[in-house]
A and B are shown apart, each in its own frame.
Chain A
Amino acid sequence: MDTRSLVRRSAVEWEIPPTGAMRVPGVLYGSEALVRDMDEKVGEQVCNVAMLPGIVRASYAMPDAHWGYGFPIGGVAAFDPDRGGVISAGGVGFDISCGVRTLLTGLQATDLEPVKTSLADRLFRHIPAGVGSSGRIHLHGDQMDAMLAGGARWAVERGWGRAEDLTRIEEGGCMAGAQPTEVSERARTRQADEMGTLGSGNHYLEVQRVTTVFDEAVASLYGLRPDEVVVSIHCGSRGLGHQIGTEFLRRMLVEAPRHGLALPDRELACAPIHSATGAAYLGAMRAGINCALANRQILTHLVREVFADVLPRADLALLYDVSHNTCKLEEHEVDGRRTRLFVHRKGATRAFGPGHPSVPAAIRDGGQPVLIGGSMGTASYVLAGTAAGEARSFSSSCHGAGRQMSRHEALRQFQGRSVITGLAARGILIRSASTRGVAEEAPGAYKDVTAVVEAAHEAGLSRLVARLEPVICVKG
């Protein structure tokens, strides 16, 4: 992106002043190098979102922002329902509530060494991953309804997890307001065999080592200590979320003129929050969030089963579970008054600061954990939400490294087998059903995640707590 068209507010904050139909400014967070590397389309999409009815304060792009559909990935925008605010299926994305959860283990990295290969093999065999994989749980009818209404709470009630897990998940593991009746038969069919599956693409399960602690007090509160082992899971609402996104994107496209919405681009299809379609999408999307929370909960149970066999000393306690692709009703300060807003985060992480009542009591003083995913060979990071993030981005931060190379280009540059061999030489074991998938997801296809989290830290969106490096990666 050409930074000359932007107004620089600080080393890591850039503004696009409102012009034309923009109702609010655009604000991009990132170092000069990160913003310069962003596609021009990111700027266009930030401006387009700024034109939507009911948007308040600004249209934001996080430091890992890249070209999405309608909204940029890494986009954050909040809408006031009482000022004609809209809700957008494209502003949430197809993979509703795709997110990351991190489990502590209490193990030292040295404990892994004797069993590393067998642990990698066992995880790969036990966790359904990749295109066409099916889970062991098959849901239909009332059971599907119960899952869509109950989320991770439903999973824990059925024995897939511990009651205390729920305190470490956004919304206590169950998104209120879900309406299973708004989820179509096709979405249900698509999900029937996919509970407890990882998916493909950038989804993964990693066994990681804590290599650096930046903030000892918060890390200690979170239970993160140098050289200890953690497990992170990255996946979402699987076929159900994809189908909900597909159906509502089309419905919003067709109905936009009927709602009197003059959209700068068709891909911004949305509906007024106070409309039948807006309400239906909210109900379905919240059910999709519950599907993702249940899915990550079942995967957690599967991981615990493997560790119980291979490393029975491990105690896999949930540190936290964050969702990246959501629209949530939250209270924020706008023009000096507390206002209830529908906050879209597409490829962005909620990041409430210290003391926020939504952060679990045991870690509330540290702020909400912000879990930033890596890319097989690169690091992941744990950050913490800040009080300043409220005014800067509606308490939102980045979600990952973000791609710097298309899949097309990655296939030309990398060979899956070579990537696996190269990482093995660095002590990182990769297990995947698809070498082509590994090539498309090669670490070199991603931006420098360290630059992204440093920008988020410097901008005050969240602050650095710990760095994690991969030891084993089961790739979807």
Chain B
Amino acid sequence: MTRPPSDVRPPAGPGGSSWEHFPHGADVGVRGRGATRAAAFAQAALALAAVTTDPARVRPHGSIEITCEAPDDDLLLLDWLNALIYEAATRHWVFGAFEVGITGGRLRARAFGEPIDLARHEPAVEVKGATPTGLRVAREADGRWVAECIVDV
């Protein structure tokens, strides 16, 4: 049976953390919000994971560490999402939770997940890459950070 759309996201978490997909003609927009840059990046990663499967269905059986460094916030988000896409593709994993720390232009994170289980995860589509289209990391009027871009599927 088809699952409900995974972009029906949970209510905002502590500090107003949340994620969502936003429409794009052929591809998908991923957007994360949080009290800090790191929280927004973690939420954007959840939005990315949800393109393939419902993150709530992913058991955190294992974790991997990811580090990235970039000259600005936009490129750091691009690198972070592309690192996750690479790890998911080469390990045949799905991810469902993330811990992110950012210091200056350096990101250090842990992604929790497990090998793909076709029956349980019902993966819809693989993500080819995060694009510079709609790429934005910024602090909004309410003080929260937003991190977003279009990903190619």
Cα of A201 to Cα of B27 in the assembled complex, Å: 10
- Tell me, rounded to whole Å, the shortest Cβ–Cβ distance linking A372 to chain B: 16
Interface residues of B in 103-138 (CB under 8 A from A): 116, 118, 122-126, 128-133, 135
Beta-carbon contact of B89 and A440 below 8 Å: no
Give the contacting residue for A132; candidates B21, B92, B135; CB below 8 A: B92
In the complex, B75 has a CB within 8 A of chain A: yes
State A227–B3 Cα separation when bound (angstroms). Answer: 38
Distance between Cα atoms of A242 and B2 in the complex (Å): 28
Question: CA–CA, A302 to B124, complex, Å?
Answer: 24
Please give the distance in Å from A408's CB to the nearest CB on chain B: 5
CB contacts (< 8 Å) of B86 on chain A: these are 186, 190, 243, 246
Interface size for B (C-beta < 8 A) is 42
Residue contact A131 to B124, C-beta cutoff 8 Å = yes
Q: Choose, from A66-74, A271-279, A326-334, the stretch at the interface.
A: A66-74
Name, among A95, A250, A269, A407, the residue most crowded by chain B CB atoms within 10 Å (CB to CB).
Answer: A407
Whether A407 and B125, one on each chain, are in contact in the complex, defined by CB atoms closer than 8 angstroms, is: yes
Q: Does A437 contact B (CB under 8 A)?
A: yes
The reply to whether the CB of B56 lies closer than 8 angstroms to some CB of chain A is no
Residue B11 at the chain A interface, CB threshold 8 Å = no
- A70: which B residues are within 8 A, CB to CB? 132-133
Decide yes or no whether B1 CB sits under 8 A from chain A.
yes
Chain B residues near A (Cβ < 8 Å): 1-3, 5, 7, 21-28, 52, 71, 74-75, 78-79, 82, 85-86, 89-90, 92, 116, 118, 122-126, 128-133, 135, 150, 152-153
**A-B pairs with the 9 shortest C-beta distances?**
A131-B123, A69-B133, A406-B23, A411-B5, A132-B116, A69-B131, A436-B124, A242-B128, A94-B128
| A interface residues with partner B (beta carbon < 8 Å) | 39, 41, 66-70, 73, 90, 93-95, 130-132, 134, 186, 189-190, 199-201, 239, 242-243, 245-246, 249-250, 253-254, 266-267, 269, 402-403, 406-409, 411-412, 415-417, 433-437, 439-440
A–B Cβ pairs within 8 angstroms, 17 of them: A90-B132, A94-B129, A132-B118, A134-B92, A250-B75, A253-B75, A267-B131, A267-B135, A402-B25, A402-B26, A403-B26, A408-B22, A416-B2, A436-B3, A437-B123, A437-B125, A439-B2
